[in-house]
Structure 1
Amino acid sequence: MRTMKLGTSTLEVPVIAVGCMRINSLDKSEAEQFVQTALDEGANFFDHADIYGAGACEEIFADAIHMDNNIREKIILQSKCGIRQGMFDFSKEHILNSVDAILKRLRTDYLDILLLHRPDTLVEPEEVAEAFDILESSGKVRHFGVSNQTPMQIQLLKKAVKQPLVANQLQLSITNANMISQGFNVNMENEAAVNRDGLILDYCRLNDITIQPWSPFQYGFFEGVFLGSDKFPELNQKIDEIASKYEVSNTTIAIAWLLRHPAHMQPVIGTMNIDRLKDCIKAGDVHLTREDWYAIYRAAGNMLP
């Protein structure tokens, strides 16, 4: 699979990240087959979070991949922490305890990347900095990033944190493209012009922070998948037309649309279906034309001013 540099790091990663939030929906043999297929296809970047399956997903993954020192050096592991029942928590104590628990469940000594999962308004950047320093110096975490954060929230962390923040995981899909749409509608009196995220797309590009789009097939928050949905007939017609042109599936085109953006994004796919996994991976070899990209954008109901 085609690879890219993650943020400002020297870490070479696949352009597709395999999300493991739903791996607990598979039985043991299915999980083993899914993980092995990902490896065979060159998709060796696996995204986790301590809340997925209340931690069970990390344990299931470790079993499925038969974690040992040999396999560990062949894969890239990312996990997230900071969400607790009824609250968010970026305290030093919680971050350190969370990482220890993550490493135990994944049966490894280190994470390649740790992301802070959801912004904690009670965050004290100095505490985060202390936690990151301990994790880095102990070798438990090699790279750090955030998830669902605005430019100013990142800047607040960087006031104290010395490690580069290499990634920001954000919701983005063809139908959930506000971070793109607001860039077209500058100074316009319409809904698309509303700046809801502080121009996070431009900020990440300027600061070489890799955007990792999550839920790349979803519309709304978790309302459903737009592919094949009767709510998006024009979009599906256009995607199918372009998929036929490139001789790939509609799934491949939906991911290729994200990869076409020059921000060099790394979509996090959540499918547990092996055929769809392969279709997603094929997107790394598809380069949409400018005309195709804009045609899909408009077909989703996104208007150009």
Structure 2
Amino acid sequence: MACPRSRGRGAAYHQYGKSEAVFGEVLARSPGLRQRIVIQTKCGIRLPEGDRPGYYDLRGAGIVRRVEESLARLRTDVLDVLLLHRPDPLTDPGGLAAALASLHAQGLVRQFGVSNMSGPQIAALQAHTDLPLVVNQLEMSLVRRDWVEAGVLFNTPDATRNGFAPGTLEWCAANGVRLQAWGPLARGRLTSGADTRVSRLVAELARRKDTTPETILLWWLRRHPAGIAPVIGTTRPERISACADAARREPDLTHEEWYELWATAREAPLP
């Protein structure tokens, strides 16, 4: 969970925890809401403070402390899902596993996952814990396509320039790890008035299918057999409303339309 700065709110409100704190206030004002929703949050990235640069921290004690702070801000007794946000090169897998086991045994966290990790990185963590890692959250959109291109660029000169760890989607599917897409609307680059071939195609498909351009972008992700779940990060109510069809309707894109969107976005033929 990306957390803007929050100052002057007391010990329970960490400097970088405003979004959780505001959500906690909503839960406090809405009796019964907590039982109808799933709360997922993240830990692992320590943002800059003063002259100290940001860094990654998956030390066991740090994870426990971050969970305690999140629970206080959210005003709840348990997190449904906790994501370990980005790999920490200094991770002690044994200490990390012990922290996860303790949090689970105390009933503070029900399930665990990761964010921005490759298949081999998840496998390395999973080897140290019996608790299943159930989610991998990655940046995925019609603009950020390296995750889908990695599979088709194999054995081509462009493969080394792609950068996405090959086999990650397949590993997650084979091991029951649900894929979540952050940034699925590409920060509005295709729906905020940009006049490009791909934005025009998205708008035309939306018109033909009686839906919104945002829904077309989310359908493109959901049409993939990996079962991708888009994570909508906007704070604009109108943008959230524009995504509603993506939840109400099954992806209405043909095989050919899905590829047309892909090929148009990449501005080059498929290999």
Give the match for residue 29 of structure 1. none
Give the match for residue 3 of structure 1. none
Q: Would you say 1:292 and 2:260 are equivalent positions?
A: no
Q: AA paired with 1:274? A: P
Q: AA paired with 2:78? A: Y
Q: AA paired with 2:100? A: F
Give the match for residue 269 of structure 1. 232
Gaps of 5+ in 2: 6-12, 48-53
Q: CA shift at 1:71, angstroms?
A: 2.0
Structure-to-structure mapping, 1:103-122, within 5 angstroms: 103-122=71-90
Q: AA paired with 2:264? A: A
Q: Distance in 2 between matches of 1:72 and 1:194?
A: 41
Q: Distance in 1 between matches of 2:269 and 2:62?
A: 44
Q: Would you say 1:81 and 2:47 are equivalent positions?
A: no
Q: CA shift at 1:118, angstroms?
A: 1.2
Structure-to-structure mapping, 1:111-260, within 5 angstroms: 111-190=79-158, 194-218=162-186, 225-228=189-192, 230=194, 233-260=196-223
Q: AA paired with 1:62? A: G
Q: Distance in 2 between matches of 1:252 and 1:167?
A: 23
Q: CA shift at 1:196, angstroms?
A: 2.7
TM-score (norm 1): 0.78
Q: Distance in 1 between matches of 2:61 and 2:213?
A: 45
Q: Which has the larger radius of gyration?
A: 2
Aligned-pair identity (%): 35
Q: AA paired with 1:296? A: L
- Number of aligned positions between the proteins: 256
Instruction: Say whether the 8 Å CA contact 2:44–2:63 is kept in structure 1.
Output: yes
RMSD across aligned positions (CA): 2.4
Distance 1:67 1:261, change over 3 A: farther
* 252-261 or 200-209, which deviates more: 200-209
Q: CA shift at 1:229, angstroms?
A: 5.4
Structure-to-structure mapping, 1:10-89, within 5 angstroms: 21=2, 54-66=16-28, 70-85=32-47, 86-89=54-57
Distance 1:21 1:92, change over 3 A: closer
Give 4+ residue runs of structure 1 displaced > 6 Å after superposition. Answer: none
Q: Distance in 1 between matches of 2:228 and 2:160?
A: 22
* 268-277 or 183-192, which deviates more: 183-192
Q: Would you say 1:303 and 2:239 are equivalent positions?
A: no
TM-score (norm 2): 0.87
Distance 1:135 1:22, change over 3 A: closer
Distance 1:173 1:135, change over 3 A: same
Q: CA shift at 1:67, angstroms?
A: 5.4
Q: CA shift at 1:264, angstroms?
A: 0.7
SS in 2 for 1:253: helix
Q: AA paired with 2:180? A: Q
Distance 1:141 1:81, change over 3 A: same
Q: CA shift at 1:281, angstroms?
A: 2.5
Q: CA shift at 1:227, angstroms?
A: 2.4
SS in 2 for 1:236: helix
Distance 1:104 1:91, change over 3 A: same
Instruction: Say whether the 8 Å CA contact 2:141–2:186 is kept in structure 1.
Output: yes
Q: AA paired with 2:39? A: L
Q: CA shift at 1:202, angstroms?
A: 1.5
SS in 1 for 2:229: coil
Q: CA shift at 1:289, angstroms?
A: 1.3
Instruction: Say whether the 8 Å CA contact 2:80–2:110 is kept in structure 1.
Output: yes
Instruction: Say whether the 8 Å CA contact 2:3–2:17 is kept in structure 1.
Output: no
Distance 1:67 1:152, change over 3 A: farther
